[in-house]
Amino acid sequence: MRGGEMDMNSKHRQDKNCVSRRRALQMIGAASLAGMCSLGGLGRAFAAQKKPNIIFILTDDHRYDAMSCMGHPFIKTPNLDRIANEGVLFSNSFVTTSLCSPSRASFLTGNYAHTHGITTNHTPWDNSNVTFLEILKKAGYDTAFIGKWHMPGDNLPKLRGLDRFVTITKEGGQGVYFDCPLVIDGVDTPRPGKYITEDLTDFAIDFVGQKRDNPFCLYLSHKAVHFGFRPPKHLDNLYDGVDLKLPPESDTWNTYTNNNIFVGAPLPMNWLYRNYCETVVSVDEQVGRLLAKLEQMGVLDDTIIIYAGDNGHFWGEHGMYDKRWAYEESIRVPLMIRYPKMTAQPGARPKQMVLNIDVAPTILELAGVTSPVAMQGQSAAPLMADENASGRRSWLYEHFPVFPIPIPGMTAVRTDRYKYIEYQDDLKPAELFDLQKDPKEMHNIINSAQGQAVLPQLRRELQKIKQDTGYRFFTRAEQRRTGKGE
């Protein structure tokens, strides 16, 4: 897959270079300017002229490689590919917690789960958190949150800084694919005959198309492609008969065994995966509708378009299904940004590690807005101006137990080369992987000579990041024992 990625990447770059010399010169100029006056300054300079519109599209469980631009063997996603090819695809993008609610809150706040406090799908949203939408509203944006909120609490929160809030409360906020009722600005509204991805996109298009003087920021958060995996009728059976090319350790029964059934999929693996792939295509179609609307309005290039997934997904790798664990399939997500005005090399695929907590600071920097609150993420905007700009050296992955799932809490440190994972109360032996030699993380080298040589440094690094970010472990039992936590 990686080789395919690189081949496609270089081919695309060659195409781009051949097509537009003028474009290349413009970008060199922009990159030089960014280098001279820092990208933050550049962002503010652009913003002083006219603030860009912002569309952030977040999908659920969309794994990093489930797109044709990432070399998937059969899924066709021309619209997502377009965002990648005309923008920047961060090819090493990760979530700091591979679970819906914590990850979503991290996108919104730019902070780790242990900081924003939404550590599980059961933890209510803390309204003292500041979202990038709130900051943008104060900076003069029209704002809308459309789609999956999925953070519990007795009621939906009164989010600050929203002009429009269309969301889902059915099935604990997960929603359903067909006929999913919506809460439209606080009003429960049945939606008979609607397919959720299309319905939410209709709201998005409506919001984007409104006449306004201010720039807009749209947060479009799909239910797709979360479990349920139901494509719209016209895509049903699209991949029937296709060789799914599931990993060799995968089989039909993975979803029922090794306690995978607790993560909610009492159906055969291949059936689920086929439907998942078809549902990804439906997301791509709806992204295409939104892009077409922006083009029709003539604002496509004035709009920052960000596409991301909230976590990855196992399809039998390690004998697993679902996500949560710290392995690559679970923590890697698609993340790409299309904003020609700030992109030095369209189609670039920076290799630096970029996280979900980086999205909020990136959006703010691109919009030329200074955050009034500290965020733990760091802007990825410099990587758009210079693919070779320096990136982070390591980062913290954290997972907190989510009842009733038999997966222990864990923390991990991931560097470009290694990943070291520690489990709650040593319920599972610690793991260390050499990601260069063993990208599928099949061989725990913790007891090998190589492992022993790098282990102390990785342990120190993990402790340091924990300390620097104020890490706390959250379980009910832990809180009772130590008085720490929420």
User: Could you list the residues that contact other proteins (CB under 8 A)?
Assistant: 122, 152, 171-172, 248-249, 251-253, 256-257, 259, 261-262, 266, 319, 401, 403-404, 406-409, 424-425, 427, 475-477, 480
CA 64/CA 266 separation, integer angstroms: 24
Minimum CB separation of residue 144 from other proteins in Å reads 29
Minimum CB separation of residue 1 from other proteins in Å reads 17
- In sequence order, the β-bridge partners of residue 464 are none
Q: What is the dihedral of CA 337, 342, 343, 349, to 10 degrees?
A: -50
Angle at 233 between CA 231 and CA 239, to 5 degrees: 60
Q: What is the dihedral of CA 390, 337, 86, 137, to 10 degrees?
A: -130
Which residue, 103 or 174, has its beta carbon nearer to other proteins? 174
Which residue, 37 or 427, has its beta carbon nearer to other proteins? 427
Helix, strand or coil for residue 88? strand
Q: Is the separation of the CB atoms in 308 and 58 below 8 Å?
A: yes
Minimum CB separation of residue 248 from other proteins in Å reads 4
Which residue, 134 or 317, has its beta carbon nearer to other proteins? 317
Minimum CB separation of residue 476 from other proteins in Å reads 6
Minimum CB separation of residue 24 from other proteins in Å reads 46
Minimum CB separation of residue 40 from other proteins in Å reads 41
Which residue, 153 or 186, has its beta carbon nearer to other proteins? 153
Minimum CB separation of residue 475 from other proteins in Å reads 7
Minimum CB separation of residue 180 from other proteins in Å reads 14
Which residue, 343 or 475, has its beta carbon nearer to other proteins? 475
User: What secondary structure does DSSP assign to 395-435, as a single string?
Assistant: EEEEE---TT-----EEEEEESSEEEEEEGGGSS--EEEET
Minimum CB separation of residue 197 from other proteins in Å reads 20
- The one-letter amino acid code at 152 reads P
CA 428/CA 245 separation, integer angstroms: 30
Q: Is the separation of the CB atoms in 65 and 246 below 8 Å?
A: no
Q: Is 133 left (phi over 0), alpha (psi -120 to 50) or beta?
A: alpha
Helix runs in 298-419, H state only: 328-331, 359-367, 381-385
CA 88/CA 90 separation, integer angstroms: 6
Which residue, 71 or 264, has its beta carbon nearer to other proteins? 264
- The one-letter amino acid code at 420 reads Y
Minimum CB separation of residue 404 from other proteins in Å reads 6
Which residue, 318 or 332, has its beta carbon nearer to other proteins? 318
Which residue, 210 or 259, has its beta carbon nearer to other proteins? 259
- The one-letter amino acid code at 372 reads P
Helix, strand or coil for residue 466? helix
Which residue, 461 or 478, has its beta carbon nearer to other proteins? 478
Angle at 16 between CA 12 and CA 21, to 5 degrees: 160
CA 260/CA 169 separation, integer angstroms: 25
Which residue, 134 or 329, has its beta carbon nearer to other proteins? 329
Minimum CB separation of residue 74 from other proteins in Å reads 18
* Neighbour-count burial for 246-280, b at 16+ CB within 10 Å, e otherwise: beeebeeebbeeeebeebebeeebbebbbbbbbbb
Q: Is the separation of the CB atoms in 288 and 338 below 8 Å?
A: no
For residue 6, the tally of other CB atoms under 10 A from its CB is 14
Which residue, 74 or 253, has its beta carbon nearer to other proteins? 253
